[in-house]
Structure formats: structure tokens, C-alpha cells
Amino acid sequence: MSDARMKTDVQLISAALDKLQAISGYTFLRADQDSAQRYCGLLAQELQQVLPEAVYTDDRGNLSVAYGNTVPQSGQIKVSDVAAVFEVSGGALAFSSLYRAACGGP
């Protein structure tokens, strides 16, 4: 949900660029699947250290990343130093083509 009309208690993420620089993107195999398919994403434990609102714990204690909560809209963050990971697309931040290509995306 990006519509400002649907939000209350909106707070700017302080030091957002520093927080982005504290996490890394990874490719990996899933331990819960018998497959050679590689995935691309974040480690919930890393993200939880800098942006706990974007990490959820299930009833078994497994962590998951709410990816929709991790990609801010343009204007919320200065992205000059993270251009290799993010790019502005249609007024919103998106993973860059370089990042998508590295992760096997379109």
C-alpha cells in the first residue's frame, strides 16, 4: 500500500542510506526444497538489525522478509550511492537492471 491517504503516523526512516548499506543481497539455495534452483534475496536476520518492521516471525520462529516494506518510493531516500542496486522506474524505486540480471531476473 503506497497511497499516503491510507497511512497514519508516517515517520521518515532516519539514515536510510546507511541502513541499505548495512545489508547485502544474496543468491542461495533453499534448505526446505530439494531443488537446484537458485533464488535471490535478503537475509532476514541482517534486515532485522536495521529495519525490524520489514521482518516477520511465523509461529515456528522462522523469519521472513516483507519485500513490499523494503523498497521505498522515490523521495523517501537518497539513492545516489546505491544506484547499482536500485533505480527509479515510473517514479518508484525498483531493483536495478544490473541487480535483476545478477539474480536471474528479467
8-67 per-position pLDDT tens digit? 998 888 887 788 788 888 888 989 899 999 888 888 999 899 888 889 999 999 998 887
Q: How many domains does the chain have?
A: 1
Q: Is the pLDDT of residue 78 over 50?
A: no
**Burial (0-12, 13-18, 19+ Cβ within 10 Å), 100:** middle
In contact, 22 and 50? CB cutoff 8 Å = yes
Q: Is the pLDDT of residue 71 over 70?
A: no
Q: Is 32 part of any domain?
A: yes
Q: Is 93 part of any domain?
A: yes
Q: Is 88 part of any domain?
A: yes
Q: Is 4 part of any domain?
A: no
Q: Is the pTM of the predicted complex or chain greater than 0.75? A: no
* Sign of the CA dihedral running 13, 15, 16, 22: negative
18-27, 34-43, 76-85, 96-105: which has the minimum mean pLDDT?
76-85
Nine cell digits for residue 47: 534486515
Q: Which residue has the cell 536495521?
A: 50
Q: Measure the CA–CA gap between 97 and 106, rounded to whole angstroms.
A: 8
Q: What are phi and psi of 27, to 5 degrees?
A: -110, 150
Q: Is 9 part of any domain?
A: no
Q: Which residues fall within 8 angstroms of residue 87, CB to CB, at 6 or more apart?
A: 79, 93, 94, 95, 96, 97
Q: Which residue has the cell 521518515?
A: 12
Q: Which domain holds residue 92?
A: 14-102
Q: Is 50 part of any domain?
A: yes
Q: Is 66 part of any domain?
A: yes
Q: Is 84 part of any domain?
A: yes
Q: What local confidence, expressed as pLDDT, does residue 57 receive? A: 92
Q: What local confidence, expressed as pLDDT, does residue 95 receive? A: 56
Residue 55: other Cβ atoms inside 10 A: 21
